[in-house]
Amino acid sequence: MSLFSRILTAAAALAIVAPLALTAMPSNAQSDTPAGDFMGYPVTEYMDVSLLEGADIEKGHDVYNRVGICLSCHGWNGDGMGKNPRSEGDAAKLRESLLDTQGFIDIISCGIPGTPMPYHNNQAYKDGDVCYGMTAADFDAADMPRKGKSIRPADIINLVAYLQTHVQGAGETTLAQCQDYYGDSASKVCAGLE
Ligand code: HEC
């Protein structure tokens, strides 16, 4: 199955499962937690919380910045404007991503072959188990998947939990977010934001 049909299948499966999961919940279950709450953050239509169970969102932010160094391409705020010369100013805008939880997990684990988006699961493309049944032998040189930083599967879940609660659907970057991130150097870096 191609990467994109795999993603579409995951999205379609989620669309069917999510409403069932909600209606199947007994009405008196956890009445202090609103349905659609994930660790204090609203559950969006893109989130499959069963895949994110036990995730550590703060750890996920650290993985984004320091372990995976996603910010080098995707920018500190996920606007795709990172300075990495492999995709300078032209990586995917994660704030606008329409991926579901499984889609994020798959793309972060396996990358997007034929693009600068690297894979981060160090077992990817070794045997066919991890990435769409494919191994490195299935690619010609131009499409060969690029290797990124290794991220443990549990940290990929932490990372996706961070992205889906703080980045996906976050809209335009605000001055407050920029000041919060840059602290003392904010006045220069954040000058263009309102
Ligand atoms: C070397 C640069 C680079 C690095 C490092 C990188 N990415 Fe990417 N990423 C890209 C590019 C470029 C694309 C768009 C590829 C395409 O479709 O043409 C992309 C696409 C994606 C997508 C798909 C978004 C969508 O809506 O389709 C996700 C999710 C993603 N990256 C997450 C990450 C995360 C999380 C990390 C860190 C673990 C990371 N990337 C590291 C360059 C990078």
Per-position DSSP letters for 33-80, written without gaps between them: S-TTEETTEEPPTT--HHHHTT--HHHHHHIIIIIS-THHHH-TTSSS
Atom of ligand 1 nearest to the CA of 63: 38
* CA of residue 117 to ligand 1 center, whole Å: 4
- Work out the pLDDT band at 193, boundaries 50, 70, 90: confident
The phi, psi pair for 2, rounded to 5°, reads -75, 165
pLDDT, tens only, 69-111: 999 999 999 999 999 999 999 999 999 999 999 999 999 999 9
Nearest C-alpha neighbor of 99 from the set 193, 3, 20:
3
Asked if pLDDT for residue 53 goes beyond 90, the answer is yes
Closest CA to 149 of 61, 55, 58, 63: 63
Pocket probe mutation, ligand 1, options 44, 72, 74, max atoms within 8 Å of Cβ: 74
Say what the pTM is. Answer: 0.84
Q: Which atom of ligand 1 is nearest to the CA of 99?
A: 26
Question: Among 15-24, 119-128, 147-156, 162-171, where is mean pLDDT lowest?
Answer: 15-24
The kind and range of the H/E element at 170 are none
Q: Which residue's CA is the nearest one to ligand 1's atom 18? A: 115
* Conformational region of residue 119, where left means phi above 0, alpha means psi within -120 to 50, and beta covers everything else: beta
Q: Backbone phi, then psi, for 155, in 5-degree steps?
A: -75, -25
Mean per-residue pLDDT of the chain: 87
Q: Which residue has the tokens 């990435």?
A: 131
CATH topology of domain 3-11+37-189: Cytochrome Bc1 Complex; Chain D, domain 2 (1.10.760)
Phi-psi label, residue 111: left if phi above 0, alpha if psi -120 to 50, beta otherwise: left
Which has the closest alpha carbon to 105: 80, 133, 124? 124
Residue 36 confidence class, pLDDT cut points 50, 70, 90: confident
> Given this model, what pLDDT does residue 187 score?
87
Looking at residues 161-172, what average pLDDT do you find?
A: 96
Atom of ligand 1 nearest to the CA of 160: 35
Q: How far is the CA of 153 from the centre of ligand 1 (A)?
A: 17
The model's confidence at residue 180, banded by pLDDT at 50, 70 and 90, is confident
* Residues 162, 119: Cα–Cα separation, whole Å: 18
Which atom, in ligand 1's list, is nearest to the CA of 112? 15
